[in-house]
Amino acid sequence: MSETGYRETLRGEVIAKAGTLIEMEGLAALQARRIAREAGCAVGTLYNLFGDIDGLVVAVNAETLALLGASIGSAGVVLGTLSLEERLARLAMAYVDFALAHQRRWEAVFEHRLPEGRDAPASYLEDQDRLLGVIEAAIADFVPDANGQRGITARALFGAVHGIVALALDNRLGGRSLTELEQQVRLIVRLAAIGITRDNAVA
């Protein structure tokens, strides 16, 4: 099971090269010939390993999602007895920090669209669920789970923070927008925390 044959080694190297390429020049720089050249293999080998370019992108994105999951996860385990607002703020800022630290890599996850019929690998959904699980755990003390309310709330919170970050990065983060991003995230988190606290008569 832990045998790492030549194939697995090569596969890992290609994913790594592709990852740094995305990190430095964005998703558009991921070209078959270029990867092949930089990874020291033939174009055809990429297709043996990943099926097509989308497969390679998916592999890189899966890695990125795993990294994000690790970041959010470790932010989630230290929430201890903090207030709801503080818990949400920690998680949200972990997300912001990750997005800023791996800007292009992170953009690639949402920028990439796989062709019509194909759907994302199971690991995507698993990572998504793991993320939502962390959020659900963080709000468990404050939101009842009737009718799946807690899940809905977790998704809404994630989407809200995600949207703010996505729009901010889209404007390419010129100058003051970086501090504005942080202000917006802190604001939405505070409002949501207040709203949740004062609204236990959930519709």
Name the binder of 20 from DNA, a copy of itself, none, CB < 5-8 A by kind: none
Stretch that binds a copy of itself, among 12-20, 44-52, 63-71, 160-168 (CB under 8 A): 160-168
Euclidean distance between CA atoms 153 and 151, whole angstroms: 5
Token pair listed for 148: 């799946």
Name the binder of 111 from DNA, a copy of itself, none, CB < 5-8 A by kind: a copy of itself
**Residue 118 in contact with residue 153, Cβ under 8 Å?**
no
Is 196 a residue that touches a copy of itself (CB under 8 A)?
A: yes
Kindly tell me which residue out of 104, 164, 173, 175 binds a copy of itself, with binding defined by CB under 8 A.
Answer: 164
Name the binder of 163 from DNA, a copy of itself, none, CB < 5-8 A by kind: a copy of itself
Which residue lies nearer to a copy of itself by CB, 63 or 180?
Answer: 180
Token pair listed for 104: 């292009």
How many CB atoms are located within 10 Å of the residue 184 CB? Answer: 19
Q: Judge residue 103's burial from the number of C-beta atoms within 10 Å of its C-beta, 0-12 exposed, 13-18 middle, 19 or more buried.
A: middle
Which residue lies nearer to a copy of itself by CB, 49 or 92?
Answer: 92
Name the binder of 162 from a copy of itself, DNA, none, CB < 5-8 A by kind: a copy of itself
Is 53 a residue that touches DNA (CB under 7 A)?
A: yes
Cβ 29 to a copy of itself, closest distance in Å?
10
Euclidean distance between CA atoms 151 and 155, whole angstroms: 6
Q: CA dist 95 to 81, 117, 131, 137, 160, Å?
A: 21, 30, 10, 16, 12
